[in-house]
Structure 1
Amino acid sequence: MATALTRLQAGGFSIGIEAPLDNDWTPRGEQARRIARRLPGEPDLQQHADLARLADRLGFRALWVRDVPVYDPAFGDAAQVFEVFTYLGYLAGITEEILLGTGAVVLPIREPLLTLKSARSVQQLSGDRLLLGVASGDRPVEYPLFGRDFDTRGTRFREQIGLLREGTAARLPQRLEVLPADGPTLPLLVAGLAQQQPAWIGAHMDGCLAYPGTPQEHAHRVAAWRAVAGNKPYASFIHLDLLERADAPLQRWRFGLRGGRNALLAELQAMQAAGVDHIGLQFRRNERPLADTFHEIAEYVLPQFAANA
């Protein structure tokens, strides 16, 4: 039976979507936010369920959600608003095939046993579609709120990875267990280095969630990843504004690009050639309606990478 990790890599390259499913980082989206009196960086989630179902039906490989426990106006991004494991459980109930990934759960500020229980619950309820992206976190303001120390987050990260890997047999009094107990091993993908040495990351993690970049930048990062992790999956993200004209030329910006579907296809092919296994597309800067954009990518782009999936 295929696992979430093997499904992610099936065919050699795959394309997913990153939540929130909104284009609120556009002039029109910003105007709507002000009218609705939502916070800066708070997306409009009225259509998120319909768009998640659509992404599932159209064949996108994974849907990624983020872990932002506290809204910080200095950072200005509420992500998809909903608590990450609660949202994954909801998405598991309204989708059938699409993988469900976190990008990424901040382990050191969470209660380890509850993180284990939450992850196992989503894994089982989704039919083994969970891709558990994890991180050490990079927002110092959050740690005192949870009674955690920012400077020791690397040590806490390693301890929690041990629990997620080994379970609770050596950590709980006899006869106690965290349920659900059975199931496949949790697939762990790391965002960044999580305050660890590359060799440790390569040995203990199942995959890499890399910072957005150009194909040339990813080629160097992929080589470094392969040196410590072998053929474990390497994934990253693109902030996309897909223009209506198919041959609109590529324009780069921070974290992504604007252009027509031909430019997007060329960029994804370059990512594949650089050794990237998966790209998640984020649409917060996308000017067009997201349903139209999803349909166009599914019709013209996904089939180019689906021959061996």
Structure 2
Amino acid sequence: MHPRFQRLIGTGGFSIGLELPLDNDWSTAGQQLREKQGRPFGVPDMHRHGELARQADESGFSALWVRDVPLYDPSFGDAAQVFEVFAYLGYLAGITRNAMLGTAAVVLPLRRPWLTLKSANSVDQLSDGRLLLGVASGDRPMEYPLFGLDFAGRSEVFRRAVELIRHNGEGSLHNGAQLVPQPHSALPLLVAGLAQQTPEWVGQHMDGWLSYPGTPEDHHKRIAMWRQVAGDKPYITFIHLDLEADPEAPLRRFHFGMQTGARGLIAELQTLRDAGVQHVALHLRRSQRDVSTVIEDLSTQVLPHFHS
């Protein structure tokens, strides 16, 4: 296991983070505010993002995860956290101190590999070695023609970029040229999905897997496959969560997540941990309650059951 994951998952082998944006724009109140402000569906309200990121960091969440969405596509209806991923990570590195900073995930074929590596190394230095570099091949065909790239050929481009990043560009520069800065330590590489590769290739070349949200049964099947090709490398997933104020509120599933009270969430997380999941990032855009209040409730009612 890559040493940096020890910091992520802790001595208990399981931890909880948050997926940004920290907005509830998919809730009833959030959608009403979005319509009032004239924002398209899936474009969150970011005016509290710094305040909420600091709160999450100080509340004990082990990681903050950001996504790479270069262009807002109405057919997908999700602009993620709006800001460019590496620029935003640089900002987060400056206002947080404890949480790991993860990408879920950088679309490698859309980016120049050397600039991706320089950006990642820069964030890693600015955050004092807190970067977890999740990568992907991309799933939005409209982006590729705008970048002058072939959507169908992205798997080979992805592999070449991974090779460069994996070795930090070593052996590719001549005549005394150097890439600066260097990372704080070797960057851990995680993959979202399979990135158009075989499971065997992913298990061999990546340090961890970012699995899509699902039920415990879904994860049992995926973890069995992952352990077969990757051994004990970390398995990470995400949950879309609407946490109710009543801790005893029953669990009701919806696509990619659930509405439940703290007790139901604790039971779900324990089931995922027992299945072999090592980190879960909670996505709060469906929260019917204020996000700051939800973060506080999670930190006092849920995190103590899993974070020593």
How far the C-alpha of 1:265 sits from its partner, in A, is 0.5
How far the C-alpha of 1:179 sits from its partner, in A, is 0.8
2:200 matched to which residue of 1?
Answer: 199
- Give, as a single letter, the amino acid of the residue that structure 2 aligns with 1:9: I
Q: Distance in 1 between matches of 2:278 and 2:211?
A: 11
1:4 aligns with 2:9: no
How far the C-alpha of 1:217 sits from its partner, in A, is 1.0
- Give, as a single letter, the amino acid of the residue that structure 2 aligns with 1:199: E
1:3/1:128 contact within 8 Å kept? no
How far the C-alpha of 1:172 sits from its partner, in A, is 2.7
2:274 matched to which residue of 1?
Answer: 273
- Give, as a single letter, the amino acid of the residue that structure 1 aligns with 2:230: A
1:51 matched to which residue of 2?
Answer: 52
Q: Distance in 2 between matches of 1:172 and 1:95?
A: 34
Unaligned runs of 5+ in 1: none
1:168/1:177 contact within 8 Å kept? no
1:60 matched to which residue of 2?
Answer: 61
Q: Distance in 2 between matches of 1:151 and 1:42?
A: 28
1:116 matched to which residue of 2?
Answer: 117
2:19/2:282 contact within 8 Å kept? yes
How far the C-alpha of 1:3 sits from its partner, in A, is 4.4
TM-score, reference length from structure 1 = 0.97
How far the C-alpha of 1:183 sits from its partner, in A, is 3.2
RMSD of aligned alpha carbons: 1.1
Secondary structure at the aligned position of 1:177 is classed as coil
Secondary structure at the aligned position of 2:166 is classed as helix
1:191/1:209 contact within 8 Å kept? yes
- Give, as a single letter, the amino acid of the residue that structure 1 aligns with 2:127: S
TM-score, reference length from structure 2 = 0.97
Q: Distance in 1 between matches of 2:169 and 2:303?
A: 41
Unaligned runs of 5+ in 2: none
How far the C-alpha of 1:303 sits from its partner, in A, is 0.7
How far the C-alpha of 1:184 sits from its partner, in A, is 1.0
How far the C-alpha of 1:26 sits from its partner, in A, is 1.0
Q: Distance in 2 between matches of 1:259 and 1:74?
A: 29
Q: How does 1:258-297 map to 2 (within 5 A)?
A: 258-297=259-298
Q: Distance in 2 between matches of 1:4 and 1:81?
A: 27
How far the C-alpha of 1:34 sits from its partner, in A, is 1.0
Structure 1, 63-72 or 142-151: larger mean CA deviation: 142-151
Please give the per-residue CA displacement for 1:187-218, whole angstroms capped at 9, x wherever unaligned.
10100011111111011100000010011110
Q: Distance in 2 between matches of 1:182 and 1:281?
A: 28
2:173 matched to which residue of 1?
Answer: 172
Q: Distance in 2 between matches of 1:45 and 1:250?
A: 29
Q: How does 1:246-261 map to 2 (within 5 A)?
A: 246-261=247-262
1:20 matched to which residue of 2?
Answer: 21
Secondary structure at the aligned position of 1:301 is classed as helix
